[in-house]
Every structure is written in C-alpha cells, then in structure tokens.
C-alpha cells in the first residue's frame, strides 16, 4: 500500500514526552473536526493553539466518511485559520471502529506473538484476520505487579479511509489512535501527579458514549454504547438518570472480571468529556452515579500549561486532540 496506509501506521505503543517537538493532533468527530498544537519537551507541555470547524450535516455518519470533499474543505479552512505548517499529524479512530481487550498476568504471561494475537482476535471479529491491523500495547503494572497488556484491532478499510484524508490535506500520519486511548494518554500526562485514585473517564458524545478507568496510572479499557436520542436532545433529570443507569449496566459487565461494580467498588473520581459535557450535565451525572466530579483543568497543571488565547472550546472537547498531539513524534 501507499505510504500512510494502514500497513504503515503504528498502533499506540506509548509516546515520548522528552523529545522536543511541536505535535499536531486532529480529531475527526461526528459533527466537527478539532485540531490542537502543543509544544512538547522534557520541561513540560505547552498547548499553543486549538480550533474547530463544524461539519456540514451528513459529512460523517456513524463515524463513516460520507462526503470526503466536504470534510477536506472543512479541514482546509481549519488549517488556514490556524496556519499550521506541520508535516506530521496523529488522528483518531472512533470507539465503534476498534476492538480492545485486556490481558493481565506475570511478566511474559501473554506473548505478543502474531500467532497469539491472531488466535485471540479471531474470536471477536467478523471476517478474515488479514483484513485487520492488529497490535498490542503494554499499559503498565497493576497494583500486584502484573503486566497490563491490551490487544488492539481495527479494519484496514477504516484506517485507510482516515489516512487518505490526512494525505490529501498534505500531512503524513505519525499514528492513528483509538479515541479512548488518546483521551487516557492526555489525562495520564496532564494529571500525572494526582492519579493515585481510581478515575472513571466518560466520553459522552454522539453517536456513542464510551468509558474507561485509570487506576494508579494504569489504563483499563471499559465499554461503549449508543447514546440515546433522549439525552442528546434534552438533558432533563429523567434523561440523565436513564443515561447513568446505562453507564452502570455496561460498567458492571465490563469490569465484572476485575471484581468491580458500582455497588461493590465504584470509582473515586469522575471525569466527563465529549459533546454532552457542560457544567450542569456533569454535575447531574456525577450526582446520579454518586461519584465525586473532577473540577480542575488539565491544561493548567504542573506538567501542562496553555498559551492559547481565550477559546470558546472547552477543555472537555480538547482533551482528545491533545492526546493525539502527544503521539505525533515529529514537527
């Protein structure tokens, strides 16, 4: 395949915060595209600029690119306004386009050989394994010093589709990251000094809501479900309660094997991001889940600062492109 296709894209295997560079991340969301530039070095990370462009209706549908020309037109407008001259970029894979499974065991328990990965993946996908890009990522050690390994898989067609967008924009893909991993990378870096607790991260967006856990800096993938039209078009008390109940249901299923549930051992802190996130909704959802809500700003911490001029884009929408920018390892 041509350069930049799925055959040449490396799935997440960490990122280097010590290599000085300006990273660019572009998140292709259902209703808009958001770009963020960050200066990354061993001295810390500085958010330089961010902007968004609302997409024409129907440009993306359920994450699939329906109108490539319209999407490119929106991205070119964004590029012109921001004036970025980057050669490399990292973009995202929406929740519904990747499979993610976690393995925990002693060092060497799970061998990341192609045979092992393919055997596991074949039990969770439709179609031929050769149609999928697969990889593993080590996300740290658990409390009892066991290795936390995650298998990732996504169809080549989806990766190639998004790769083509960046190529036609004049950019080379440094990486393509699953939405939730990009979000977790951003939070782990920005809040590195305050992650002793078990943090639940909820990406409340359209067409899907997803969640995961970050405990002592270790990433535990969760689940996702379709966001109901009721909560999208009206955040009244009953809609929020039903939304919270759906999170509880999927959370209990996702983390049952870890012995976690919203009754036995719920998260210590809640971070809410995405399209639905605003002060009132976040407070109502945290209350419905009975979890303490994070009330800080990840762009004003000991490791991350911001030089952006006043922006109308809330940090809850910028976390994802920030995590993507961290993964771009060249200017």
Let me know whether 178 and 273 are in one domain.
Answer: no
Let me know whether 287 and 209 are in one domain.
Answer: yes
Joined together, the tokens standing for residue 300 give 């004003």
Let me know whether 182 and 39 are in one domain.
Answer: yes
Residue 87, in any domain of the structure: yes
Residues of the chain with pLDDT under 50: 1-13
Let me know whether 74 and 199 are in one domain.
Answer: no
- pLDDT value for 107: 58
- pLDDT value for 217: 75
Residue 257, in any domain of the structure: yes
Nearest-CA neighbor of 183 among 40, 68, 322?
Answer: 322
With tokens 């952006």, the residue in question is 308
Q: What is the CATH number of the domain that holds 262?
A: 3.30.420.40
Q: How far is CA 105 from CA 145, 200, 255, in A?
A: 9, 23, 16
Let me know whether 260 and 203 are in one domain.
Answer: yes
Residue 136, in any domain of the structure: no
Let me know whether 25 and 77 are in one domain.
Answer: yes
Let me know whether 306 and 225 are in one domain.
Answer: no
Question: 204-253, pLDDT tens digit by residue?
Answer: 999 999 999 988 778 889 999 999 999 998 889 999 999 999 999 999 99
Contact 93, 183 (CB under 8 A): no
Q: How far apart are CA 330 and CA 22, in angstroms?
A: 7
- pLDDT value for 114: 63
- pLDDT value for 7: 40
In terms of residue numbers, what domain contains 260? 195-293
Residue 52, in any domain of the structure: yes
């Amino acid at each position: 395949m041509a350069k930049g296709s799925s055959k040449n894209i490396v799935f997440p295997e960490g990122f280097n915060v010590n290599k000085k560079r300006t990273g660019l991340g572009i998140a292709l969301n259902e209703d808009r595209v958001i770009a963020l530039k960050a200066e990354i070095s061993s001295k810390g990370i500085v958010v330089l600029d961010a902007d968004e462009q609302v997409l024409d209706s129907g440009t993306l549908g359920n994450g699939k690119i329906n109108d490539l020309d319209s999407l490119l037109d929106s991205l070119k407008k964004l590029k012109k306004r921001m004036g970025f001259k980057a050669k490399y970029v990292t973009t995202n894979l929406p929740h519904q386009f990747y499979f993610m499974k976690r393995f925990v065991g002693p060092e060497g328990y799970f061998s990341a050989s192609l045979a092992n990965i393919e055997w596991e993946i074949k039990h969770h996908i439709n179609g031929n394994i050769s149609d999928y890009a697969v990889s593993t990522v080590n996300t740290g050690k658990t409390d009892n010093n066991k290795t936390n390994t995650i298998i990732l898989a996504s169809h080549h067609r989806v990766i190639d589709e998004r790769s083509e967008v960046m190529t036609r924009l004049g950019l080379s893909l440094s990486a393509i990251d699953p939405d939730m991993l990009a979000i977790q990378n951003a939070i782990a870096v920005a809040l590195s000094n305050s992650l002793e607790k078990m943090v639940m991260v909820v990406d409340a967006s359209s067409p899907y809501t997803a969640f995961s856990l970050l405990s002592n800096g270790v990433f535990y993938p969760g689940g996702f479900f379709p966001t109901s039209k009721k909560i999208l078009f009206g955040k009244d008390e009953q809609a929020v309660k039903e939304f919270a109940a759906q999170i509880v249901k999927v959370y209990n299923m996702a983390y049952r094997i870890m012995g976690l549930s919203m009754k036995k051992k719920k998260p210590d802190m809640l971070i809410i991001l995405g399209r639905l996130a605003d002060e009132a909704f976040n407070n109502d959802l945290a209350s419905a889940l009975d979890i303490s809500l994070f009330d800080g700003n990840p762009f004003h911490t000991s490791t991350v600062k911001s030089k952006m001029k006043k922006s109308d884009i809330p940090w809850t929408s910028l976390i994802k492109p920030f995590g993507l920018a961290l993964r771009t390892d060249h200017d």
